[in-house]
Amino acid sequence: MWPPTPIWVQLAGTSTVSPEKDNQLSPDRTPQTTYSVGGSVMSRRKTRPRDEVGHYVCPNCGSPSLVRDAETGEVICTNCGFVLSDPTEQYAAPVPRRTEEGLLESQSGPPGRFSAFDKNLSTIISRAQASNRSLSADERLQLWRLRRTQLRASAGSSTARNLSRAMSQLRGLAGRLNLPEVVTERAALMYRRALNKGLVRGRPINGMVAASTYAACRLTDVPRSLSEIAKASGMSRKLLAHYYRALVRSLDVTMAIEDPLKRVSKIASRAGADSPTEMLAGKILREAIRLRVNVGKDPDGLAAAALDLAARIRGSMVMQRDLAKAAGVSEVTIRSRMRDLKAAAKSLGLPDVA
C-alpha cells in the first residue's frame, strides 16, 4: 500500500493506558480518565477542588498545590515554581463532540474575549494579505478595497467606535498595572454592561474604563488601590471615586469589605520592614477584623498602622513616614488608625506602647 501509513497513525489505534502505569503516578498528580475517539484513546485530567485558587492543577507537573501572589495576582505552583499568568484557563483537553454528520467539531482562530471590541469574532483582512506578491495586480487591488470596506464597516456605529477606543485603553491600563487576564476580562464585561445601560453617555471613556478596572480588582481580590489606578489612568482620585460609585449603583453590584491583610506584604516590602514585624502586624489585623475595627476604615491606612504598631512593640527601626509613603496615606492617618488597633493588641495580650 502506497503511500505507507505513518507510524503515529498506526500507533494511535492501539495505544492504551494500563492500570499499572496509571498507578505509578506520584501522589500529587491527579487521576486520568480515558475515552475513545475514532479508535484513539485520549485522556482528560480530573481536577481537584482547591480552596486557594479554585479547582485547577499545574499544567507543568500536575500538582494541585497552587497559591496566589498578593502583589501581582498571578498563581504559582509550590511544587515546581511554574507561574500561571491566567488562573482561569482550562489546561485539560476538551472532550470532542460529534456533529450530526459524525464529524468531530473543531475550533479555529483565537478564543472570544470581552476585552476585544469585536470579541475576536470578525474577519480581518490584514495588510500582509492585501500586499501578497503571489497575487495579480487586480486581485491585490480588490483585496485593498475589501480591506478598506471592512475597516469602515467594523467601526460604523457609535457603539463600535466607543468599544474600540475603550478596549484599547483598557489593555493599556491593564499593562501598566500588571493585571492578570481574568481582571481585564471582568473589567471589559462591566464596561459593556455600563455601555448598554447608557451610563457612559456624558462621561469620559478613560474614566469609566478606570472605574470598571477598579471594580474588577475588587471582585477578583486583586490588591490594587484606588490611588494606584487613578495614577495609572491619569486622573484624580476623587473623580475616579465618583465614576466608581456611579458604576456600582447602576449595575447593582455588591462589593465586599476590602481585606487589609492583603496590603500588609506590599507595604512592608516597600517600607523595608522585616518578616517578624510583618507577621505580628497580620496577627494584630486578624484580631482587629474579629473585633470589627476595620469597618469603614481605609485598608491601606489600617495595614500601615498595624505595621507601625508591630514595629514599636518589637523595637524595630521602621520609620512612620516610610510607611505612610509606601501606603499612600498621611502620617496623621496612621496615628489615628493606630489608636483603633491598640484595642486589638490589648486583646492579644501585647504590651502597650506610646
Burial of 74: CB neighbours in 10 Å, binned 0-12, 13-18, 19+? middle
CATH tag for 261-347 (out of 3.30.450.20, 3.40.50.300, 2.40.160.50, 1.10.472.10): 1.10.472.10
**Are the CB atoms for 250 and 197 separated by under 8 Å?**
yes
| pLDDT value of position 19 | 36
**Are the CB atoms for 267 and 300 separated by under 8 Å?**
yes
End-to-end CA distance of the chain: 92
CA distances to 108, 173, 181, 215, 243 from 186, rounded to whole Å, are 24, 14, 9, 9, 17
| pLDDT value of position 126 | 73
| pLDDT value of position 49 | 34
| pLDDT value of position 67 | 81
| pLDDT value of position 15 | 33
Regions of the chain where pLDDT drops below 50: 1, 3-55, 87-95, 103-104, 107
Task: Please give the grid coordinates belonging to residue 28.
Answer: 500529587
Domain boundaries defined on the chain: 7-84, 115-154, 159-251, 261-347
DSSP labels for 290-304? HTTTTTTS-HHHHHH
Q: In Å, how far from its chain's centre is CA 311?
A: 33
Beta pairing, strands 66-68 & 75-77: antiparallel
User: CA nearest 330: which of 298, 352, 354?
Assistant: 298
User: What gap in Å lies between CA 305 and CA 347, rounded to an integer?
Assistant: 17
261-347 matches 159-251 in CATH topology: yes
b vs e for 203-218, b when ≥16 Cβ sit within 10 Å of the residue's Cβ? eebbbbbbbbbbbbbb
| pLDDT value of position 90 | 41
Question: Which residue carries 482562530 as its cell?
Answer: 109
Domain 159-251 CATH assignment equals 1.20.1260.10: no
| Three-state DSSP state, 114 | coil
User: CA nearest 214: which of 236, 235, 192, 229?
Assistant: 229
User: What gap in Å lies between CA 265 and CA 282, rounded to an integer?
Assistant: 9
